[in-house]
């Protein structure tokens, strides 16, 4: 089956499942003037890795388009933010350029390239603002080693129609998201109409495993398997006021990431 057709079929299946689950997604826009109080902010550097020099401009363009699609979205109490529902399919017709990308362990240049940096940015600002993470997946391969743009256990990989980033607003106030490129950084902020104190922290403990193993991962209780003899396992825990019993700890993930292929220089899933 052609990949484009599989995309459409998968997207249709997810749409039906979403309607059946009665999820209320954030789709409305808000104004910063009515949400003057910054709840949390997070930033990541835009890095041009070796081998990406020719596609770095395309990488920045893709990120800029994705962030423009989510910039200004208003997430009301109980509503769910969905990256792909707001960004849409990242096609060349929509303005996305071919940039470094890896699907599984296959490196290449695709229109969807570099968008995982945008989703990782949004995932982290959501964590720090005490949002309830509904869907998130780690990268399958450690593309850059010590030069990675994210901390192990704090990344969010995405693939249109297959892997989304979703989080719910558990607070009594609506939160306005702002996200854009500022100089050599991407910056995301969440704003509230009145002061909102959020005491949320994220702790990551990384270890090395020496043999292939199965680990229990994420709130959906799926089991994932490492695909290499050596890999980093990042155990992430989240402390946020919306958890049961006030401020308590919850393990939000246990990610297995294997070393990148020798020629890899893209965004891995």
What are 81-135's pLDDT values in tens digits?
999 999 999 988 999 987 655 444 444 444 456 899 999 999 999 999 999 999 9
- What's the whole-number average pLDDT of the chain? 79
Residue 200 to residue 45: CA distance in whole angstroms = 23
Share of the chain above pLDDT 90, in %: 45
Q: How confident is the model at residue 163 (pLDDT cuts 50, 70, 90)?
A: very high
Q: Is residue 76 predicted with pLDDT exceeding 90? A: yes
Q: Supply the angle between the helices 56-70 and 115-128 in degrees, to the nearest 10.
A: 40
Q: Is residue 71 predicted with pLDDT exceeding 80? A: yes
Q: How confident is the model at residue 261 (pLDDT cuts 50, 70, 90)?
A: low
- pLDDT for the residue 63: 95
Please tell me the number of Cα atoms within 13 Å of 206 on its side-chain side.
11
Of 13-27, 54-68, 101-115, give the lowest mean pLDDT range: 101-115
- pLDDT for the residue 241: 58
Residue 175 to residue 190: CA distance in whole angstroms = 6
Residue extents of the structural domains in the chain:
3-197
DSSP 194: S
């Amino acid at each position: 089956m052609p990949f484009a057709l599989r995309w459409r079929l998968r997207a249709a299946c997810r749409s039906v499942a979403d309607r059946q689950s009665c999820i209320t997604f954030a789709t409305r826009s808000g104004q910063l003037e009515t949400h003057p109080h910054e709840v949390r902010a997070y930033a990541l550097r835009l890095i041009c890795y070796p081998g990406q020099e020719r596609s770095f401009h395309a990488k920045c363009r893709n990120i800029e388009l994705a962030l423009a699609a989510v910039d200004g979205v208003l997430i009301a109490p109980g509503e769910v933010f969905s990256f792909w529902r707001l960004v849409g399919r990242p096609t060349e017709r929509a303005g996305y350029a071919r940039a470094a990308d890896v699907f599984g362990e296959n490196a290449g240049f695709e229109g969807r390239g570099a968008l995982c940096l945008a989703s990782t940015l949004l995932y982290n600002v959501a964590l720090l603002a005490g949002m309830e993470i509904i869907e998130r997946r780690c990268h399958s391969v450690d593309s850059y080693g010590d030069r990675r743009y994210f901390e192990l256990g704090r990344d969010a990989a995405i693939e249109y129609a297959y892997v989304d980033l979703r989080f719910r607003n558990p607070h009594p106030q609506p939160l306005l998201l702002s996200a854009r490129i500022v100089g050599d950084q991407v910056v995301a902020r969440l704003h509230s109409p009145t002061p909102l104190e959020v005491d949320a922290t994220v702790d990551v403990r990384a270890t090395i495993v020496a043999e292939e193993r199965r680990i229990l991962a994420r709130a959906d209780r799926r089991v994932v398997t490492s695909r290499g003899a050596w890999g980093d396992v990042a155990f992430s825990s989240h402390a946020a006021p919306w958890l049961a019993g006030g401020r308590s700890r919850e393990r939000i993930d246990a990610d297995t990431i294997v070393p990148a292929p020798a020629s890899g220089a893209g965004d891995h899933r």
